[in-house]
Chains A and B, each alone.
Chain A
């Protein structure tokens, strides 16, 4: 009895609702695509966007924290990347490289106003680093650079 009832159910499912089944698969695939697609974009843009650190006077501790935050950034853990950069700011708030990175992470999070604000903070402590100034100015003006390298 049980087997035949199950059999009947399966038959009904396959016979009557294949369209619904296929639609559901399609919706799931689209949803997955929707979730995954922006992440790929974020990776690509991230790899293009992070400014070079070419300040030979950066303390070892700051370099270590920047590297750690970059690692988190490329793993799309933007919140952790920001938290790590804040640790660097606490140690020395006068380093434009750190503020610019924070601006970039905010940009990737879609928080444009905070991205601009942090780019301004970078500019406020910046000296003679035109590449970084361009980077910041582009964020402030709402036109992020295609590539900083």
Chain B
């Protein structure tokens, strides 16, 4: 290599660099014709040959001396440059952000105050999810609690940084009586507290593409025995070598030759770290050279303790679904549900043993192999004096001591986390989201989510069991706070933890009768033209859609009721009068109303839109019905409250934003009717199944493909969709499918603490008047067929209807109503 260089160099290098003598020699040689040159190769006689040889040797010596030095110089410059590049790469990563820190998503913090609906089980569950430790005696440390007589709690909270600053650990005591928090005091004090905010449950992480979770640990927190075992197994001369260890390489080589295969690696911990952090896993000579160079550079740049700490936090130790387990602390949580500090030495030995092959020795899948490997490590610990013979015998006989379940799961609420990601993506790019360690605070309520999931699991299987023809049902279920539009729970699959297609957000399906309140609202916003007592025509209707085509909408029962009052048509979800009304008020106005209600998709203005023959997602429907639930204030649904950076400094808040686009009086008329839907209309089963005042609307589409129910109280709104992914018939109406799930959920809510009923108190400017149910004319309380309806002031009917006195029984009923 060094000889070839000088031979070729003169052709490319400038002549000035030669000495005069050399130059003349070179010049003369150059003048030699090609045939002579060839002749030189076959010398005519020995003397001439010797002379030529002498010339050639001296020339090559000169060239070698000069150009090899130059070549070496150039090479060394290139090599130094390369080392410099590698060094920058190393220091950049190791001095900066070594690991991509996933963003963490938190649930809403539980607010504790007197009068709050809360069961003992709910509080216990919350504390369990927060990983507080239940103690039998008085709690003394942050993160401990005890329960007395199944009603009194003593809790010492942990420090936590909220948006408005750090909340220090505090002791509190509280009592729960009849599912309500009855008293809240400072712990061991009579001083009462108006309010206390528990730290929020961490519910998920948003990970980089590599799905790496991290739980970093400092070297001084790592047990000595683990360090000892690790060095004994992976790198005995860690504190002696400079990143690469020729002795280890030779030893490994020898061992491998003897064994006839790879049984031992000669890589030091530093080399392994370099490989994990900077290099690809392939086995090539270039990578090996790079690995060695970088290992040396790491050793030059960093102290042994930094290298060891980085290794302990970096090393790959297993797989939890799609999520990689990196670092000993996280592995300890994953395999033993315990922090590294609390592990027994045999458990540490297992973790150290896993470094060699986390998949091959996966303890949950290959128990025998894992035990064998652990015992090998224990033996090494024995040899190094970290264990006595008796301890060795004891530990090697032990079971692996694995936790039954991993303490954390990669993502318990996939549908919700998908929503969190989508809402964050407008403010953060994907990389920051997955690597900057953001703390995302949300409105997700784990208690409500658990109830929603339980209802989905129970009702979907019930529906399939009770009807043999019904199978492969799917569902989407959204729960939000009515007034703030904050998402509390979301289920997007009949298997709630399944992270597939997010039906809540992406399943756009026909909404059927869920459109009707928007049409009636459009009409009622014109009180001079329409009231709840307006008479609508429920007789056959034929609409020419094209020259040859006619659309003849039908009612669900395929019957016509003649004249029907507007409120009744909505409550009974009559199709034909709705189409007539929709065409009267105008399709464009209905589109406007939908926009005001918060629907952002473009809705085609065809006559069939009046029966909901257009597609919305369950999330769109929830946005729309939130506006009814909040009396005309549209609040775009959101799940994120605040974002803090990894140090806990506030980055962005997502404030409550309202938009009043609809008159509250018109909304009240609709809500009054939507309440009647749950009393006498298509959802009347609620009147007997739920001890709550609620309002809502069923929705069913052609051939029973989609079953919907959207309903609310002043506090909570929930939308349910049930259908099939192939868009075939479910055999379910809104009442027989979605409503059952909705009812089950609210029953559960009511049982587990309770929620307030929907308020039917009218706003200013509403008058209630008795009218005749048949004609819509003015009537009186004691008249037969009279019903009391709300009217926007000034729109009350003026014509009197004939009054036939109601029977005594009817009058008594009305009196009690």
0/1 string, A77-113, CB within 8 A of B gives 1? 1011011101101110110000000100000000000
A61 x B113 contact (CB < 8 A): yes
Given A64-B195, A79-B653, A114-B657; A124-B633 close (CB under 8 Å):
yes
Q: Which residues of chain B come closer than 8 Å to A61, judged between CB atoms? A: 111, 113-115, 194-195
B714 x A94 contact (CB < 8 A): yes
Q: Which residue of A lies closest to B660 (CB)?
A: A120
Tell which of B115, B165, B655 has the most Cβ of chain A within 10 Å: B655
Contact of A93 among B111, B113, B714 (CB under 8 A): B714
Q: Which residues of B (238-259) have their CB < 8 Å from a CB of A?
A: none
Interface residues on A, range: 20 to 34
Q: Tell me the interface secondary structure of chain B in the complex.
A: loop
Given A61-B194, A82-B655, A124-B664; A91-B163 close (CB under 8 Å):
no
Chain B interface residue count, CB cutoff 8 Å, equals: 33
Q: Is A47's CB within 8 Å of the partner chain B?
A: no
Taking the closest CB of chain B, its distance from the CB of A24, in whole angstroms, is 31
Contact of A89 among B163, B656, B659 (CB under 8 A): B656
Q: A3–B195 Cα gap in the complex (Å)? A: 66
Q: Which residue of A lies closest to B163 (CB)?
A: A83
Taking the closest CB of chain A, its distance from the CB of B44, in whole angstroms, is 73
Taking the closest CB of chain B, its distance from the CB of A31, in whole angstroms, is 25
Given A64-B195, A83-B653, A124-B631; A117-B111 close (CB under 8 Å):
no
Q: Is B432's CB within 8 Å of the partner chain A?
A: no
Q: Which residues of chain A come closer than 8 Å to B664, judged between CB atoms? A: 124
Q: Which residues of chain B come closer than 8 Å to A64, judged between CB atoms? A: 194-195
Q: Which residues of chain B come closer than 8 Å to A121, judged between CB atoms? A: 633, 658, 660
Q: Which residues of chain B come closer than 8 Å to A87, judged between CB atoms? A: 111
Q: A118–B653 Cα gap in the complex (Å)? A: 18
A91 x B194 contact (CB < 8 A): no
Q: Is B299's CB within 8 Å of the partner chain A?
A: no
Q: Which residues of chain B come closer than 8 Å to A114, judged between CB atoms? A: 655, 657-658
Q: Is A65's CB within 8 Å of the partner chain B?
A: yes
Taking the closest CB of chain B, its distance from the CB of A63, in whole angstroms, is 7
Contact of A60 among B194, B631, B642, B657 (CB under 8 A): B194
A89 x B194 contact (CB < 8 A): no
A89 x B195 contact (CB < 8 A): no
Q: Which residue of B lies closest to A64 (CB)?
A: B194
B656 x A60 contact (CB < 8 A): no
A80 x B484 contact (CB < 8 A): no
Taking the closest CB of chain B, its distance from the CB of A61, in whole angstroms, is 4
Taking the closest CB of chain B, its distance from the CB of A67, in whole angstroms, is 9
0/1 string, B621-660, CB within 8 A of A gives 1? 0000000000111000000011000000010010111111
Q: Is A59's CB within 8 Å of the partner chain B?
A: yes
B194 x A117 contact (CB < 8 A): no
Taking the closest CB of chain A, its distance from the CB of B662, in whole angstroms, is 12
0/1 string, B476-506, CB within 8 A of A gives 1? 0000011110100000000000000000000
Q: Which residues of A (51-74) have their CB < 8 Å from a CB of B?
A: 59-61, 63-65, 72
Q: Which residue of B lies closest to A80 (CB)?
A: B164
Given A72-B164, A124-B633; A86-B656 close (CB under 8 Å):
yes
Q: Which residue of B lies closest to A63 (CB)?
A: B194
A65 x B660 contact (CB < 8 A): no
Tell which of A63, A72, A117 has the most Cβ of chain B within 10 Å: A117
Q: A80–B759 Cα gap in the complex (Å)? A: 31
A91 x B658 contact (CB < 8 A): no
Q: Which residues of chain A come closer than 8 Å to B401, judged between CB atoms? A: none
Q: Is B81's CB within 8 Å of the partner chain A?
A: no
A117 x B658 contact (CB < 8 A): yes
Taking the closest CB of chain A, its distance from the CB of B165, in whole angstroms, is 8
Supply 11 further A-B pairs (C-beta < 8 A) apart from A65-B195, A89-B656, A124-B763. A61-B111, A61-B114, A77-B164, A86-B656, A90-B486, A91-B113, A117-B658, A117-B659, A120-B633, A121-B660, A124-B633
**Residues on A close to B: CB < 8 A?**
59-61, 63-65, 72, 77, 79-80, 82-84, 86-87, 89-91, 93-94, 102, 114, 117-118, 120-121, 124
A-B contact pairs, 27 of them (CB 8 A): A59-B113, A60-B194, A61-B113, A61-B195, A64-B194, A72-B164, A77-B164, A80-B163, A80-B164, A83-B164, A84-B164, A86-B656, A87-B111, A89-B483, A90-B484, A91-B113, A93-B484, A94-B759, A102-B656, A114-B655, A117-B657, A117-B659, A120-B633, A121-B658, A121-B660, A124-B631, A124-B763
